[in-house]
Chain A
């Protein structure tokens, strides 16, 4: 398997050979190992060493074509370049994607450090132990049907025919545990947790076990909830799930495509409670898998999206930035049609609330821990959502698990109905956020 430098060299050489004058290439390789266990035994171990490269080629008429390939030997890359060149004659003639003006800006502190990969036997040993500890955490916990311990090394590069060359490397380790219960006369209940770190040695497996056990046990005593309007507290993960699902609000490409709840004129408008601020911050210190450049080679950075409830910025590619007289923000992928997506959200309290709220004293509030089926229940272009969730009804600190309920609403209304943003933020896979309190959301139970 060629390494990242060899792949870049092959691609460069083949472009020269084919007489392609203008091109750029983005590629990555992933070397990963994942283990699963079942009742104390390894169930499946997966190892993978794979590469993918995307090439963009501009022809003499300055229209652009693209091709991706996993065949990264010289012959495969030559075919990809040829295919991209052929596709270029069918490329768009207006707003043709171009190199990012920031693709050659130096990036300080590009990571190239990798953790030492642990032997598979160590991964299995630690996961078996985690499963065992979870199974003894409570007599009702009978299974850990979904579990996984993974370590991966990731190398990325971007280069273009104007001389841009970027590379970076990093390592990630993650653990996922999800346990289910069996109790006579009761429905099975479940709970799960995830932890990520740069290396296995620093991975908080104990914390993952503890959180999984606590969540699962907390769902043992469950009740139906009456349908109605409730004060709802979103966990950091649940709030970030919704924010991500409606990210067309600040996605410049979506806005230009009229596939958004926002328009270009919405910058500066109040779209949320003044209590809320949101950044997209790829370089946030808590972002374990931080990437320093995007698919177009643009350096990533902190981007202000919402300040005190006011829409302050959009996420841009090089192309959308040019069209909207802005700067690229490091949120682009590479492709025939360049997509824009968030990197890492940072949600935080922006102003002092009129009153401090607490789950210890609040009466009959719904705590939404985890939202399900966002792919089905979110209508991102309509602004509406209707989603099943895991959560509890909490009354003065006493929590009772909720059985089979959905939460529904309009996201823009939700943003404006925020009554409290807690101070303390928590790390999740998609960003950092505090708990967010919202008034008057529809819950369907019985």
Chain B
């Protein structure tokens, strides 16, 4: 719907808009177009509004009792204003027209811009027709289709009962589920006007076993976007089997002997190695800060020729899947590395404008209190040509990292990540469980040491923390061999 553009600045205080905060629909076009025009009239180069509603619930079962049901409701908005290379971001809980206008005014004033004089012409921005990914894909009914509180409780208690059957030497057992429903609306002065609904769910076990001085704590988590039935289809029997088996093996494990080893890293959550050692360093955020060794390496070989890696916005049901990013751009499939050669970076709007790399639909943020930044989505190493047995056969003495914990990467490219479940490899065979391992290295060096990739790609859900908060991502890889890496232990 086209709207009038003949607006004078002194009419702003008397404008009445009837947008609803119960749904971000076309009724938001007029107020946001007006505010965007106001920002442009004040001299800003670019303005973006991000509106958000959230309906979150967490359910915790401990042993045989539901001990926590924690709903959380949220609404808020952020406005980002650019002037030259500088930008500012102002967030607020107040979604009224006057509340959003106050946030915009604050952003403008921070950048030294003044509102237009009385009777000045406000060139209302012509927004595109609302790109409504939610309605188009039938997401509007998702929230009502999700599990009720009663159902959450029943599933989790069944799950912890299964853990009790499967594990030995149990000290405590927990099952935890959350559902995060989010509706977002993005409107920007380049005409962007888009809406989406995201539904992210995760459920998992954590188990603590103790036998005298021996202790093992281990967790396992499944995650999903886009499937309201996720909790109903969670195979908690299989999950309980796996976690009980892992805890049993790690309970009496020896501490790893520190040193430098070849390692074989399992598929699934093993993908955290690429996430930390390389993925973060391919975000334009890192180029802007000059904290990546790969900044000027596009088109050059930065990894072993066996390595190809992708970052996808839309892997089916994966944890980091988005139809559009938090800047309203459709998510795309981005080839990061092809046979060792760096092909692309992950760029958000600001990163693109500051580094020249094209936007990839990677502008993401935890919520309205953060400005979007270039972040990973579903990131994985592509399957290779080997079978897993080939990888083991190539190791005389090394470590099999079956289950990874979290990790991090620093400003100089040094990364680290912990191993929750590890085994000693001797002459190509797994011989005994090990615990307490942490892997450390330098991104530039490690990427050339990933020398073998098997064919069994699997992905896993993860939580990634960085400049724009904690977001849902997928990591993944086939089994890989790293020729040598420093393993910290005792």
Point out residues on A near B: beta carbons under 8 Å.
1, 33, 38, 41-51, 65-72, 76, 79-80, 83-84, 86-87, 90-92, 94, 120-121, 142-143, 145-146, 178, 180, 187-190, 227, 257-259, 335-337, 372-373, 375-377, 379, 381-384, 386-388, 404-409, 442, 444, 446
Partner of A406, one of B60, B406, B488: B488
- Whether, in the assembled complex, B25 has its beta carbon less than 8 Å from a beta carbon of chain A, the answer is no
Closest 6 CB pairs of A and B: A406-B488, A444-B258, A337-B68, A45-B88, A145-B289, A376-B406
Kindly list chain A residues whose C-beta atoms are within 8 Å of the C-beta of B136.
none
Q: Is the CB of A69 within 8 A of B490?
A: no
Taken together as a complex, chains A and B put the C-alpha atoms of A406 and B436 apart, in Å, by 11
Partner of B68, one of A47, A76, A145, A335: A335
Kindly list chain A residues whose C-beta atoms are within 8 Å of the C-beta of B488.
386-388, 405-408, 444
- Whether, in the assembled complex, B366 has its beta carbon less than 8 Å from a beta carbon of chain A, the answer is no
Nearest Cβ in chain A — how far from B346, in angstroms?
18
Asked, given contacts A50-B369, A258-B172, A386-B418, whether A377 binds B438 with beta carbons under 8 Å apart, the answer is yes
Q: Is the CB of A1 within 8 A of B215?
A: no
Kindly list chain B residues whose C-beta atoms are within 8 Å of the C-beta of A68.
70-73
Whose C-beta in chain A lies nearest to the C-beta of B438? A386
Q: Is the CB of B70 within 8 A of A143?
A: no
Q: Is the CB of B417 within 8 A of A376?
A: yes
Kindly list chain A residues whose C-beta atoms are within 8 Å of the C-beta of B413.
188
Kindly list chain A residues whose C-beta atoms are within 8 Å of the C-beta of B62.
257
Hey, what's the 0/1 contact readout for B164-192 against A, CB within 8 Å counting as 1?
00000001100000000000000000000
Asked, given contacts A70-B75, A143-B290, whether A375 binds B66 with beta carbons under 8 Å apart, the answer is no
- Whether, in the assembled complex, B299 has its beta carbon less than 8 Å from a beta carbon of chain A, the answer is no
Partner of A71, one of B60, B73, B406: B73
Kindly list chain A residues whose C-beta atoms are within 8 Å of the C-beta of B107.
47
Q: Is the CB of B76 within 8 A of A50?
A: yes
Kindly list chain A residues whose C-beta atoms are within 8 Å of the C-beta of B110.
33, 45, 47, 120
Nearest Cβ in chain A — how far from B460, in angstroms?
15
Q: Is the CB of B438 within 8 A of A388?
A: yes
Kindly list chain B residues whose C-beta atoms are within 8 Å of the C-beta of A143.
289-291
Taken together as a complex, chains A and B put the C-alpha atoms of A381 and B247 apart, in Å, by 13
Partner of A404, one of B73, B76, B150, B440: B440
Can you give 15 contacting A-B residue pairs, CB < 8 Å? A38-B288, A44-B87, A44-B371, A46-B88, A47-B91, A67-B70, A86-B149, A145-B291, A373-B418, A376-B407, A382-B216, A384-B255, A404-B441, A408-B489, A446-B486
Kindly list chain B residues whose C-beta atoms are within 8 Å of the C-beta of A189.
412
Taken together as a complex, chains A and B put the C-alpha atoms of A115 and B258 apart, in Å, by 51
Asked, given contacts A70-B75, A87-B71, whether A381 binds B217 with beta carbons under 8 Å apart, the answer is yes
Q: Is the CB of A337 within 8 A of B73?
A: no
Kindly list chain B residues whose C-beta atoms are within 8 Å of the C-beta of A446.
260, 486
Q: Is the CB of A47 within 8 A of B89?
A: yes
Hey, what's the 0/1 contact readout for B435-446 against A, CB within 8 Å counting as 1?
111101110000
Kindly list chain B residues whose C-beta atoms are within 8 Å of the C-beta of A376.
405-408, 416-418, 438
Q: Is the CB of A48 within 8 A of B490?
A: no
Kindly list chain B residues whose C-beta atoms are within 8 Å of the C-beta of A90.
66, 69, 149-150, 153
- Whether, in the assembled complex, B396 has its beta carbon less than 8 Å from a beta carbon of chain A, the answer is no
Nearest Cβ in chain A — how far from B279, in angstroms?
16
Nearest Cβ in chain A — how far from B81, in angstroms?
9
- B residues 274-289 near A (Cβ < 8 Å) are 288-289
Taken together as a complex, chains A and B put the C-alpha atoms of A94 and B65 apart, in Å, by 10
Stretch in contact with the other chain, from B92-100, B225-233, B382-390: B92-100
Known: A48-B90, A143-B289, A373-B416. 16 other contacts (CB 8 A): A44-B86, A67-B73, A87-B69, A142-B290, A180-B412, A190-B410, A190-B411, A190-B412, A373-B407, A386-B418, A406-B489, A408-B438, A409-B490, A442-B489, A444-B488, A444-B489
Nearest Cβ in chain A — how far from B138, in angstroms?
25
Q: Is the CB of B73 within 8 A of A258?
A: no
Taken together as a complex, chains A and B put the C-alpha atoms of A33 and B97 apart, in Å, by 22
Q: Is the CB of B440 within 8 A of A406?
A: yes
Q: Is the CB of A69 within 8 A of B149?
A: no
Interface size on B, residues (CB 8 A): 75
Asked, given contacts A69-B73, A180-B412, A408-B489, whether A382 binds B215 with beta carbons under 8 Å apart, the answer is yes
Q: Is the CB of B71 within 8 A of A66?
A: yes
Kindly list chain A residues whose C-beta atoms are within 8 Å of the C-beta of B489.
386, 406, 408, 442, 444
Kindly list chain B residues whose C-beta atoms are within 8 Å of the C-beta of A33.
110
- Whether, in the assembled complex, B336 has its beta carbon less than 8 Å from a beta carbon of chain A, the answer is no
Whose C-beta in chain B lies nearest to the C-beta of A219? B412
Q: Is the CB of B291 within 8 A of A67?
A: no
Kindly list chain A residues whose C-beta atoms are within 8 Å of the C-beta of B334.
none
Asked, given contacts A1-B93, A46-B371, A50-B369, whether A336 binds B69 with beta carbons under 8 Å apart, the answer is yes
Asked, given contacts A50-B369, A258-B171, A404-B442, whether A70 binds B65 with beta carbons under 8 Å apart, the answer is no
Taken together as a complex, chains A and B put the C-alpha atoms of A425 and B486 apart, in Å, by 35
Kindly list chain B residues whose C-beta atoms are within 8 Å of the C-beta of A142.
290
Kindly list chain B residues whose C-beta atoms are within 8 Å of the C-beta of A41.
85-86
- Whether, in the assembled complex, B5 has its beta carbon less than 8 Å from a beta carbon of chain A, the answer is no
Asked, given contacts A46-B88, A71-B93, A376-B418, whether A444 binds B487 with beta carbons under 8 Å apart, the answer is yes
Kindly list chain B residues whose C-beta atoms are within 8 Å of the C-beta of A178.
411
Taken together as a complex, chains A and B put the C-alpha atoms of A376 and B110 apart, in Å, by 38
Taken together as a complex, chains A and B put the C-alpha atoms of A41 and B486 apart, in Å, by 39
Q: Is the CB of B72 within 8 A of A69?
A: yes
Nearest Cβ in chain B — how far from A186, in angstroms?
11
Kindly list chain B residues whose C-beta atoms are within 8 Å of the C-beta of A84.
71
Nearest Cβ in chain A — how far from B164, in angstroms?
14
Q: Is the CB of B486 within 8 A of A145?
A: no
Whose C-beta in chain A lies nearest to the C-beta of B258? A444
Partner of B73, one of A76, A92, A94, A259: A76
- Whether, in the assembled complex, B242 has its beta carbon less than 8 Å from a beta carbon of chain A, the answer is no
Taken together as a complex, chains A and B put the C-alpha atoms of A190 and B289 apart, in Å, by 13
Asked, given contacts A71-B75, A381-B217, A388-B440, whether A444 binds B149 with beta carbons under 8 Å apart, the answer is no
- Whether, in the assembled complex, B355 has its beta carbon less than 8 Å from a beta carbon of chain A, the answer is no
Q: Is the CB of B71 within 8 A of A67?
A: yes
- Whether, in the assembled complex, B67 has its beta carbon less than 8 Å from a beta carbon of chain A, the answer is yes
Nearest Cβ in chain B — how far from A358, in angstroms?
28
Q: Is the CB of A187 within 8 A of B412?
A: yes
Partner of A145, one of B290, B437, B441, B487: B290
Nearest Cβ in chain A — how far from B168, in angstroms?
16
- Whether, in the assembled complex, B141 has its beta carbon less than 8 Å from a beta carbon of chain A, the answer is no
Q: Is the CB of A48 within 8 A of B92?
A: yes
Taken together as a complex, chains A and B put the C-alpha atoms of A381 and B71 apart, in Å, by 27
Q: Is the CB of A442 within 8 A of B67?
A: no
Partner of B289, one of A71, A83, A146: A146
Taken together as a complex, chains A and B put the C-alpha atoms of A71 and B489 apart, in Å, by 48
Nearest Cβ in chain B — how far from A116, in angstroms?
17
**Residue among A47, A337, A377, A386 facing the most chain B CB atoms (10 A cut-off):** A386
Kindly list chain A residues whose C-beta atoms are within 8 Å of the C-beta of B289.
38, 143, 145-146
Whose C-beta in chain A lies nearest to the C-beta of B170? A258
- Whether, in the assembled complex, B106 has its beta carbon less than 8 Å from a beta carbon of chain A, the answer is yes
Kindly list chain A residues whose C-beta atoms are within 8 Å of the C-beta of B399.
none
Taken together as a complex, chains A and B put the C-alpha atoms of A71 and B488 apart, in Å, by 47
Nearest Cβ in chain B — how far from A201, in angstroms?
20
Kindly list chain B residues whose C-beta atoms are within 8 Å of the C-beta of A375.
406, 408
- Whether, in the assembled complex, B208 has its beta carbon less than 8 Å from a beta carbon of chain A, the answer is yes
Hey, what's the 0/1 contact readout for B9-44 against A, CB within 8 Å counting as 1?
000000000000100000000000000000000000
Whose C-beta in chain B lies nearest to the C-beta of A189? B412
Kindly list chain B residues whose C-beta atoms are within 8 Å of the C-beta of A86.
149
Q: Is the CB of A383 within 8 A of B215?
A: yes
Nearest Cβ in chain B — how far from A119, in angstroms?
9
- B residues 246-288 near A (Cβ < 8 Å) are 255, 258-260, 288
